[in-house]
Amino acid sequence: MDERKKKVLLAIVKDFISTAEPVGSRTIARKYQLGVSPATIRNEMADLEEMGYIEQPHTSAGRVPSDSGYRYYVDCLMEKQTLGEAEKEYIRQRFSKRIREIQDVINVSAELLSEMSNYTSLIMGPYQKSERIKQVALLPLATDKALLVAVSQSNAVSNYLLDIPPSLTEADLERITRVWNSRLKGVAMAEIGKEVLDDIYQELYAYRKVIQAIVDVLLGDGDQSAGGHISLSGALNIFNQPEFKDLDKVRGILELLESPDVIREILANSPETGLSIKIGGENQVEGINECSVVTATYVVDGELMGHIGILGPTRMDYAKTVTLVETMAQQLREVLSKLYE
């Protein structure tokens, strides 16, 4: 793509992100001072449309970026923003309060992301697999049900419903709890070796199925993402976007966001390192192909702890969104590192 086409595409993307209105050649000539006539700009726009980077909505005289146009902008034209001092100070103040619980950190991060972006924030984690378990407790609920309460080293509390044999008594559950805590206190689930588990299985042979159930839920059945707590904030921000005035369309997206499994799928499709930007149809989750998702990972002591992201329209302000996601991922790393110490 030659330089003039790049400038025209950049103008169209920036203007459409700002106004949500199709962009015409006269608007570009008036606002962006490219040094060429509207007629020349129209010729460039025709070429860009033929190349698949812009498209004409309905009968409008203006053009809007296509998914390919946004992708080219993100990969080749976008200049990353930096947060202003006032924004940085606001983030520092929100995290300056003494936070003892890991879930409080996650909740503050989700709220900040949605508030500062005006989009929907999604956070998954920290993964139970990476957590060190301080202690567990098994509480009887019914003849065939027990509540597993797991407290991590960072004081995060997770509850799981387990199926148990009807023959198990409260004393049996107490014995399982006592042996588990004596052998595995302070050990990360990912570090539990086969030999240790075999010893526990041997000591608690009569309760082997219950032990396996505990291992499965704390490891997320072997799926790292499945053990991650889901935090969502700003789902109703979608109503602020002009392209989502269709209530049926909005309802469908909101229904998807009500499902933790869907959010896990959105975030789990991201790479395990670095930043990811998925635009429109690049998203594999059915129903959000008119949205874009920007995600990053947060890591503590070299271990992947979770994913953080923002979901918004394809017309999102990518430059600002990328900066917010990267900043919040770094903030999570710093705060969680202190908590885990």
pLDDT > 50? residue 224 = no
Average pLDDT, the chain: 87
**Which pLDDT does position 186 carry in this prediction?**
72
Mean pLDDT, residues 52-64 taken together = 88
Cα–Cα distance for residue pair 213/157, rounded to 1 Å: 18
Mean pLDDT, residues 52-62:
87
Of 73, 77, 8, 71, the closest CA to residue 45 belongs to 8
Q: Is the pLDDT of residue 137 over 80?
A: yes
pLDDT on residue 226: 45
pLDDT band at 184 (very low <50, low <70, confident <90, very high): confident
Q: How far apart are CA 12 and CA 125, in angstroms?
A: 37
- Whole-model pTM: value is 0.76
Whether 308 has a pLDDT exceeding 60, the answer reads yes
**Residue 222 scores a pLDDT above 60:** no
AA identity, residue 134: K
Give the DSSP letter string of 232-285: EE-GGGGGGSGGG--HHHHHHHHHHHT-HHHHHHHHHTS-SSSEEEEEGGG--S
Q: What is the pLDDT of residue 192?
A: 73
DSSP secondary structure string, 166-199?
Answer: TT--HHHHHHHHHHHHHHHTTEEGGG--HHHHHH
At 319, is the pLDDT very low, low, confident or very high (cuts 50, 70, 90)? Answer: very high
Please choose, from the candidates 245, 252, 242, 236, the residue with its C-alpha nearest in 3D space to the C-alpha of residue 288: 252
What's the pLDDT score for residue 228? 62
Alpha-carbon distance 267 to 293, whole Å? 9
159, 148 Cβ separation under 8 angstroms: yes
What is the greatest pairwise CA distance in the chain?
Answer: 85
Confidence of residue 128 (pLDDT cuts 50, 70, 90): low
Q: Which residues contact 159 (CB under 8 A, 6 or more apart)?
A: 147, 148, 149, 150
**Better pLDDT: 339 or 281:** 281
Residue 317's pLDDT is: 96
Tokens representing 64?
Answer: 């809007």
pLDDT tens, position by position, 84-105:
999 999 998 888 876 667 778 8
Helices (H), 20-84: 25-32, 38-51, 67-72
Spatial distance between the Cα atoms of 196 and 212, rounded to a whole number of angstroms:
13
Q: How far is Cα 341 from Cα 325, in angstroms, rounded to an integer?
A: 24
- Tokens coding 302: 């070299």
Percentage with pLDDT > 70 across the chain:
91
Pair 128, 189: CB distance under 8 Å: yes
Asked if the model's pLDDT at residue 209 lies above 70, the reply is yes
Residue 199: pLDDT band with limits 50, 70, 90: confident
What lies within 8 Å, CB to CB, of 84 at 6+ separation is none
pLDDT score at 143: 86
- Return the top range by mean pLDDT from 9-23, 55-69, 82-96: 9-23
The answer to whether 13 and 69 are in contact (CB under 8 A) is: yes
**Which residues in the chain are classed under CATH 3.30.390.60?**
129-226
Give the C-alpha separation, 172 to 207, whole Å.
Answer: 8
The CATH 3.30.450.40 portion of the chain extends over 85-126+228-340
- Which tokens is 58 given? 């309905």
Instruction: Note the Cα 284 to chain centre separation in Å.
Output: 15
**Under a CB-based contact definition with an 8 Å cutoff, are residues 200 and 179 in contact?**
yes
Please provide the CATH number assigned to the domain covering 85-126+228-340.
3.30.450.40
Q: What is the CATH number of domain 3-77?
A: 1.10.10.10
Q: Could you read off the pLDDT of 20-42 as tens digits, one per residue?
A: 999 999 999 999 989 999 999 99
Instruction: Report the pLDDT value the prediction gives residue 245, as an integer from 0 to 100.
Output: 84
Query: What is the per-residue pLDDT for 117?
Result: 96
Residue extent(s) of CATH 1.10.10.10 domains in the chain: 3-77
C-alpha radius of gyration, the chain, whole number: 25
Q: What's the topology of domain 129-226?
A: Enolase-like; domain 1 (3.30.390)
Question: Cα–Cα distance between 270 and 132 in angstroms, integer?
Answer: 25
pLDDT band at 341 (very low <50, low <70, confident <90, very high): low
**What mean pLDDT comes out for the span 145-155?**
81
Banded model confidence at residue 221, pLDDT cuts 50, 70, 90: very low
Res 202: pLDDT: 86
> Residue 156: pLDDT above 80?
no
